[in-house]
Structure 1
Amino acid sequence: PIDPVDVPSIRTTKDRPLEEWMQNMEIEEPSGNAYTISSNRESYQEHLLYVHFMKNPKGFQLLLKGGYRPFTGLGKNEVGILQPISISFQMNMRGLGYHEGI
């Protein structure tokens, strides 16, 4: 469950744009395996994940609805991955069973 003290006013995202809400949030350096939210530290926009959240604000809203706390690990104990999964493209478009000599 989300602790309302740790994540300030998630409900306000309905009243004002998500981007404005995220710009007002800021983060501290990682402690252990998670980032903690603060009000007077490095700008939230300077963090790598901010860009990913802004590319898909609906996805971020779904994460928040599901109980995600920004900059904590995924999973029950919040020890999962912190960075988004990167996509790698395979450029040698050959199908399964392809043999060079045939």
Structure 2
Amino acid sequence: MRTREEQVSALACAIFNKHTDIDECIAIANKYIQEAEERARAECAADTRRLEWLEKKVVRICEPRRNGMWTECNSFEITYAFPGTIKSAIDAAMEGGK
């Protein structure tokens, strides 16, 4: 699936450089809007999977350390430090700490 930026760039080229027919422009825009909606649904589904996974665990999410790394402490008190966001920490934990 293309990123938002890739979609905007391709849409701008398609509409402004190649098409003079308004119906064709509308069809192209609808295609891109549908792709954006699919991307949004995929992002929501990923967040839902994270929340469902988190709900099934006894997990305490600790505050980020000074170096900006999140700490996830599970029921076994095994601590993992992840650079980035809490989403990346949950994703890594869902994959078995990889």
TM-score using structure 2 length: 0.22
Greater length-normalized contact order (CA 8 Å, ≥ 6 residues apart): 1
| TM-score w.r.t. length of structure 1 | 0.22
Higher strand share: 2
Bigger Rg, which one: 2
